[in-house]
């Protein structure tokens, strides 16, 4: 679902390859019809091949369990899908079939189920249709039956009704495919957590067991020394190459110090090795350090490499923000970028909320070539080095974070707005002016009351419906903040 590379200033940043979304597909109809209406099965199988080809065109791995005509066929299809470890199972209701043919698939496949009924065209030609031709258009007929049985059996489901040339229906289906991609990514993801909690940030504290139990992910607890040994092994030629890449990707402010730049480049190469060695899909980090010792210098040198990794599909978040690095990964996988963000100020004159963060940023969603700025201090923490400065692409955006309730349940929290142009701080932070169509203070109150922490992901596009689908497949509550 994402672009293969990001081009900035003529430099191509190749995205890191992720596991393909695994979609199980089974189509079916009532076998009693086949001898009664010659040609009907051929027409329905043709329609099923259209759906299969459409899924394959979305760069999915399609596990085709075939066309089922009776409960025995359905049982065999269910077993094939069970072994395939699918991220989503799509059941194509091509014509009427009994619910007994569908329930075993949903029960045994151990994956979320999407029911679709996509008739061949927009409408029947009533004057020329006989019963056989009509039956190719009645895939919606069994939907209430199957839905009723699923509800009574405690099987969650979702459905899309339409026709094979229905753009709206295909867009809805694609939304579920993107959500399945997120589910699959999280089920197989490895999240790095390096350093320690920023002292006093109780909202950031994350129970690692809950990440595994609610998302299926693995959290790899790392030492700063895991990075230190890899940075020490970086050779001069590799530093030179990374500095050159930085010059192509970023516009440099006059404040960039050559020594800090080269150190950031060296840390960047070491970070790449860390990600490769531990097979990480995300990284959250923080280390305070004392007196300018090496570990503190490593923390201060992270931003360049972390931003480059984020742009390539490996989100990196500062301040030990594991839940936000997860949100950034989800946003990236639905093609929305996702940059590390917090509140900065409210502008009541212009009616906007100013938000952003120092540290790693998602270069792919910058409004222009990002700026690299040299800093003498990071607010609230010791440090120095280079930092990234830009505003997110102007237009539709979605704030998106993962909240947590008192019982430990994670929640998907979103709010849609618009990034608008205007004056920005020039202090080495990402900063965006977001108009939520209401008083900035009222939005801030509502957003804060949702259960969000003080960090989140800023994603491009209005993505509430996409993220609602993600929450559905993950079995998490969904909160859309609207004032």
C-alpha 335/C-alpha 317 separation (Å) is 18
Q: What CA–CA distances, in Å, run from 184 to 18, 187, 214, 454?
A: 10, 5, 13, 27
User: Considering only 17-26, 171-180, 231-240, which range has the smallest mean pLDDT?
Assistant: 17-26
Q: Which of 305, 253, 425, 435 is nearest to 356 (CA)?
A: 425
Q: Name the band, by pLDDT with cuts 50, 70 and 90, for residue 304.
A: very high
- Please give the Cα distance from 157 to 169 (Å, whole number): 16
* pLDDT value for 298: 92
Q: Write out pLDDT tens, residues 211-251.
A: 999 999 999 999 999 999 999 999 999 999 999 999 999 88
The per-type count for the chain, helices as H runs and strands as E runs, is 16, 21
Average pLDDT over residues 115-122: 97
Helices (H), 217-257: 224-232, 236-249
Interhelix angle 322-333/167-188, nearest 10 degrees: 140
- Give tens-digit pLDDT for 321-365: 999 999 999 999 999 999 999 999 999 999 999 998 877 788 888
Q: What pLDDT is stored for residue 376 in this prediction?
A: 60
Paired tokens of 69: 């005509």
Q: How long is the chain?
A: 483
Alpha carbon distance 195, 232 (integer Å) = 18
pLDDT digits (tens, 9 = 90+) for 193-215: 999 999 999 999 989 999 999 99
pLDDT at 466: 98
**Distance (Å, whole) CA 227 – CA 205:** 22
Contact 322, 193 (CB under 8 A): yes
Provide mean pLDDT across the span 432-459.
Answer: 97
**What DSSP line would sit under 394-429, residue for residue?**
SEEEEEEEEEE-TTS-EEEEEEEEEE-------SSE
How confident is the model over 141-164, as a mean pLDDT?
A: 97
What's the token pair of residue 91?
């059941």
Task: Provide the token pair at 412.
Answer: 């998907």
């Amino acid at each position: 679902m994402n672009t293969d590379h990001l081009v900035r200033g003529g430099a191509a940043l190749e995205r890191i390859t992720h596991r393909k979304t695994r979609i199980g597909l089974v189509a079916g109809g009532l076998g009693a019809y086949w001898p009664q209406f010659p040609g009907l099965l051929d027409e329905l199988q043709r329609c099923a091949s259209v759906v299969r080809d459409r899924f394959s065109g979305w760069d999915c791995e399609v596990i085709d369990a075939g066309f089922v005509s009776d409960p025995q066929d359905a049982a065999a299809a269910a077993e094939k899908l069970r072994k395939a470890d699918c991220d989503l199972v799509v059941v194509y209701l091509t014509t009427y079939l009994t619910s007994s043919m569908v329930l075993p698939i949903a029960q045994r496949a151990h994956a979320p189920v999407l029911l679709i009924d996509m008739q061949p065209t927009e409408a029947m030609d009533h004057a020329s249709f006989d019963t056989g031709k009509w039956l190719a258009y009645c895939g919606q007929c069994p939907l209430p039956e199957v839905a009723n049985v699923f509800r009574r059996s405690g099987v969650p489901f979702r459905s899309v009704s339409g026709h094979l040339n229905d753009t709206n229906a295909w867009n809805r289906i694609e939304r579920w495919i993107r959500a399945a991609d997120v589910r699959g990514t999280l089920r197989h993801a490895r999240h790095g957590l390096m350093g320690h909690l920023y002292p006093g940030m109780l909202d950031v504290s994350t129970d690692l067991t809950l990440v595994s139990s609610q998302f299926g992910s693995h959290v790899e607890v790392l030492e700063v020394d895991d990075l230190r040994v890899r940075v020490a092994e970086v050779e001069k030629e590799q530093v030179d190459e990374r500095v050159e890449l930085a010059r192509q990707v970023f516009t440099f402010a006059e404040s960039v110090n050559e020594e800090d730049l080269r150190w950031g480049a060296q840390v960047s190469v070491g970070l790449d090795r860390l990600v490769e060695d531990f097979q990480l899909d995300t990284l959250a980090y923080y280390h305070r350090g004392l007196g300018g010792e090496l570990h503190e210098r490593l923390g201060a040198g992270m931003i360049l490499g972390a931003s480059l990794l984020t742009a390539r599909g490996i989100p990196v978040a500062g301040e030990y923000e594991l839940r936000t690095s997860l949100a950034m990964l989800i946003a990236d996988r639905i093609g929305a970028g996702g940059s590390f963000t917090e509140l900065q100020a409210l502008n009541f004159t212009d009616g906007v909320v100013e938000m952003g963060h120092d540290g790693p940023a998602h270069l792919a969603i910058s409004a222009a070539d990002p700026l690299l700025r040299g800093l003498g201090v990071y607010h609230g923490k010791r440090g120095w080095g280079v930092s990234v400065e830009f505003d997110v692409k102007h237009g539709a955006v979605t704030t998106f974070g993962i909240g947590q309730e008192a019982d430990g349940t994670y929640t998907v929290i979103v709010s849609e707005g618009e990034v608008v142009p205007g004056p920005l701080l020039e202090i080495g932070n990402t900063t965006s002016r977001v108009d939520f169509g209401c008083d900035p203070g009222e939005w801030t109150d509502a957003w804060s009351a949702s259960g969000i922490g003080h960090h989140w992901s800023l994603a491009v596009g209005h993505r509430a419906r996409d993220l609602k689908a993600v929450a559905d497949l993950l079995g998490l509550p969904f909160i859309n903040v609207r004032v």
